[in-house]
Structure 1
Amino acid sequence: MGLRQDLRRGIRLVKDVMRNRKAQGKLAEALAAQPPLEPHHYRVGVYFADGKVNLYQMRQWYKPLAELSKRHPVLVLSRASGAALAMLRESPLPVAYVRRVVDLERVIHEQDLHVVFYVNQNAKNFQMMRYGRRWHVFINHGESDKMYMTTNQFKAYDYALIAGDAARARLEKVLWDYDFDKRAIPIGRPQADHYSGTLPYTPDERTVVLYAPTWEGDRGAAAYGSIASHGVALVTALLATGRHRVVYRPHPRSGVVDHEYGVANRAIIDAIAAVNAADPGARHVYDDGPELGWQLSAADVAIVDISAMVYDRLAAGKPLLITRPANPAAVIDTSGYLGACEWLNAAPDPATGADAGASMLARVSEVAEDPEARARLGYWVERYFGDTTPGATTARFHDAIDHLMAEWERFAALHADDEEVDDHDEEGEADEDELG
């Protein structure tokens, strides 16, 4: 077993290296075709040190940041070739490829970045955070009750943009001596103002079920993924009814740690393809596209794992089921919404004798038709996101950045006579690119 795993890892590494070299060539061509950045134009930077596999963390911010850029010009700073190439092709925002620290320094000196956003906790964030005279702001890549949302790393940033009261309460449990009133700014979920997109099917009488599981996790405490425990039986049952349309949107990292988890993911994808081939009118969807929005608003019922997808869907205020983790080591914070949510268990129903698939199918129908379950969502939407009236959360996001810009101007005036320190780091010049 160990030898087989080592072989798979070796093959994956070789493929990654070849893919990275190919991406570097394409990236060089794409960069050559780009006009030079206008000097001293951009006021907001979005620092992204990850490769293409985590690009979903940036994609969900495209539309809110594009809207913000109408007020404060926004520039994406990408450290990895694969991610940079993808964003040059798809991002509505300009992208600077800053593989080495010296490249990063050049862009910093050529622009006037007052605020720098971070969507994750990549260790390379600290290569950007060395630079003072600007605000470093953690905006995260989602809202959830996962352990990731209570990390002490929040303290490393000047400010954090959080969703609302639930996020603050969660952080207050673990962060000591943290000025929440100043440094944690609630903005809601700006992405919810952009839940749109073109449907890949024509709506009909079918009940649309979004199944959006997360990946398997890298340790037991974070083993929230349900593809192997729930997914195959659940999707098989839904596909068989003729009354449902499945929209399957797995996490892009599904199977990167556990090969069998990846096998289960492929089984679901293949099952959807087979049913569509047999019945073209079914129009079930395997969704691996970059855009997230229509899936959350169009689904009659959403089934998700403990992840940011819970709260993305919660903001839509429509029927929602959460898969209960099969791994008993998985940490579940029941002090928030997960203490009152609608759970989906991957187990036979002892009362009816139904197998796991049939039992989960019945649960989907129950939640879809329960007006009380829908009504209960209202409290939690307010608790997590505040006012979700269309446009309200975008206004709070813009107000927060306006405030930070005003604070930058105030501090810049106070320190106008200070001599700027040269932060040049010769050791950083040789940094290797992350695999794309």
Structure 2
Amino acid sequence: MDFYDDNELKLIIYVNNSYMNFQSIEHPRMVHVHVNHGESDKLSMVSNRAKAYDKVFVAGPAAIKRHESMLVDFDFDKLIVTGRPQLDIEFEPELEPSLQMDVMYAPTWEGENDDNNYTSIDLYGEEIVDALLANPNLRVIYKPHPRVQASTDRAVAMAHENIVTKLETANSLGSKHLVCLEGNILSMFGATDALITDVSSVALDFLYLHPEKPLVLSDRRTNQANLQRDAPVSQACQVVDASTIGNAVELLETALVNDQLQEAREGMRRFYFGELDRGDSTVRFERVILQLIMERAQKLSGIRQWHR
């Protein structure tokens, strides 16, 4: 509280739901804004804790619908659409495109508990990579979530090691696949012709930046109805699950080479991000921040006058 007061801070932005946030919220004069850490269909993206903040910034219509379907007695006027400002940044490319079709496999990690476990790596990862390696016209870019490398889940750790070994073995025979354990995934999308990933912000960031490129999603629970309800983007993707992994080669051929879902993906981009173009989110984000600071100053001024 002394730090906030000494620096005359006016607004604070929270990127997660840490318990320490709720000590910070005790400060009565600042505007408390929750932005979470991206736009994703993971269960952790909606929490009853949203009621504690003054405002909640969301990416677009899908996030509003997500809150409406999950929260009871929530003031939906707290929700403000600001798009995805992080995606306005022009990152320096980290990968050179190849003459092949460059397909990225980017599994997420296993989460803190089973409800938040969306990874495909332990169930389907090796078979996905095997199916990609079976096509000599593809270059595989393996970019797992950073926490996969240090996973204490034995199945996840083993699958990760086996995938790295498969790619290194293929490279020893003349291929040029990439294992990218470091680096900014957003700066790699430009060299990526298609993405295979899990329910995560990675899928939606790719959808926002490149709706014209094929996107394949995984479903470790093999429940199509629940997946389409909880992750609507799956309605515009080929889906890898227990019922389709046995035909992974054919599924990926359909998804990557004979893509017929571009129009559906463009519709999903509008559902998640509205009509925002690249660059619009930052302008809107800054404008809303300044507006909230101004409105709070006016309210505080009114309170001080009332106390005189």
TM-score (norm 1): 0.63
Please state how far the C-alpha of 1:111 moved relative to its aligned partner: 1.6
Please state how far the C-alpha of 1:152 moved relative to its aligned partner: 0.9
Please state how far the C-alpha of 1:216 moved relative to its aligned partner: 1.8
The amino acid of 1:382's aligned partner reads R
Please state how far the C-alpha of 1:347 moved relative to its aligned partner: 5.0
* Residue 128 (structure 1) aligns with: 24
* Residue 155 (structure 1) aligns with: 51
Does residue 284 in structure 1 map to residue 177 in structure 2? yes
* Residue 80 (structure 2) aligns with: 185
Secondary structure of 1:309's partner? helix
Does residue 392 in structure 1 map to residue 280 in structure 2? yes
Secondary structure of 1:168's partner? helix
Secondary structure of 1:204's partner? coil
Quick one: which of 136, 147, 166 aligns to 1:253? 147
* Residue 201 (structure 2) aligns with: 308
Deviation digits for residues 190-230 of structure 1 (CA, Å, limit 9, x no counterpart): 122225322333x2321111111111233333331100111
Equivalences for residues 395-434 of structure 1 within 5 A = 395-416=283-304
Does residue 298 in structure 1 map to residue 187 in structure 2? no
Larger Rg: 1
Please state how far the C-alpha of 1:167 moved relative to its aligned partner: 0.8
Judging changes above 3 Å, is the alpha-carbon distance between structure 1 residues 418 and 276 closer, same or farther for their aligned structure 2 residues? Answer: farther
Please state how far the C-alpha of 1:370 moved relative to its aligned partner: 4.0
Q: Unpaired segments of 5 or more residues in structure 2?
A: none
Distance 2:221 2:127 in 1: 14
* Residue 376 (structure 1) aligns with: 264
Distance 1:418 1:208 in 2: 64
* Residue 225 (structure 1) aligns with: 119
* Residue 141 (structure 1) aligns with: 37
Deviation digits for residues 60-97 of structure 1 (CA, Å, limit 9, x no counterpart): xxxxxxxxxxxxxxxxxxxxxxxxxxxxxxxxxxxxxx
Judging changes above 3 Å, is the alpha-carbon distance between structure 1 residues 166 and 331 closer, same or farther for their aligned structure 2 residues? Answer: same
Deviates more, 1:399-408 or 1:155-164: 399-408
Please state how far the C-alpha of 1:315 moved relative to its aligned partner: 0.6
Judging changes above 3 Å, is the alpha-carbon distance between structure 1 residues 321 and 371 closer, same or farther for their aligned structure 2 residues? Answer: closer
* Residue 72 (structure 1) aligns with: none
Q: Percent identity?
A: 30
Secondary structure of 1:130's partner? coil
Equivalences for residues 185-224 of structure 1 within 5 A = 185-194=80-89, 196-201=91-96, 203-224=97-118
Judging changes above 3 Å, is the alpha-carbon distance between structure 1 residues 271 and 388 closer, same or farther for their aligned structure 2 residues? Answer: farther
Deviation digits for residues 94-145 of structure 1 (CA, Å, limit 9, x no counterpart): xxxxxxxxxxx45324322211111111122222222221011111112122
Distance 1:137 1:288 in 2: 32
Distance 1:226 1:322 in 2: 9
The amino acid of 1:177's aligned partner reads D
Does residue 343 in structure 1 map to residue 238 in structure 2? yes
Quick one: which of 344, 355, 360 aligns to 2:248? 360
Secondary structure of 1:112's partner? coil
Secondary structure of 1:246's partner? strand
Please state how far the C-alpha of 1:240 moved relative to its aligned partner: 4.3
Deviation digits for residues 383-421 of structure 1 (CA, Å, limit 9, x no counterpart): 1101232211222112211211212221232234699xx
Secondary structure of 1:253's partner? helix
Q: Unpaired segments of 5 or more residues in structure 1?
A: 1-104, 350-354, 420-436
* Residue 238 (structure 1) aligns with: 132
Judging changes above 3 Å, is the alpha-carbon distance between structure 1 residues 408 and 370 closer, same or farther for their aligned structure 2 residues? Answer: farther
Please state how far the C-alpha of 1:237 moved relative to its aligned partner: 2.9
The two structures, once aligned, show a CA RMSD in angstroms of: 2.7
Size of the alignment, in residue pairs?
A: 304
TM-score (norm 2): 0.88
The amino acid of 2:171's aligned partner reads N
Distance 2:280 2:55 in 1: 21
The amino acid of 2:232's aligned partner reads Y
Judging changes above 3 Å, is the alpha-carbon distance between structure 1 residues 272 and 107 closer, same or farther for their aligned structure 2 residues? Answer: farther
Whether the 8 Å CA contact 2:220–2:242 is kept in 1: the answer is: no
The amino acid of 1:194's aligned partner reads I
Distance 1:371 1:348 in 2: 20
Distance 1:412 1:204 in 2: 58
The amino acid of 1:272's aligned partner reads L
